[in-house]
Amino acid sequence: MELSAIDRLKIVLREEDCPFFTDDELVFYLDENGGDFNQTAYQCLILKSESTSLVMSGLEVGDTSKYFRRIAQRYRTNNSRVLGE
């Protein structure tokens, strides 16, 4: 069974465990990145890596920003190349 790009993004972004994006938003970012899966995954993971710590009346939810930035590095484009003369 072949997964769609949106379903693959949901897996990479851990959307089932930590929902953040709607399907329409994932379609938007995929279109914005010209259908490039890796670029879209990187952009969405960086967006998802915003500080997410939360403390309210004795309940504390840990910050997951470093976790999602670490995953984003896997999808980061390497911009190393020789510049023209």
Report d(CA 74, CA 68) in Å as an integer: 10
11-25 residue pLDDT tens: 999 999 889 999 999
- pLDDT digits over 9-65, tens only? 999 999 998 899 999 999 999 999 999 999 999 999 999 887 566 566 776 666 677
Please check whether residue 52 is in contact with residue 64, taking contact to mean a CB–CB distance below 8 angstroms. yes
Q: What is the pTM of this model?
A: 0.72
Secondary structure element (H or E) that encloses residue 8, with its range: helix 5-12
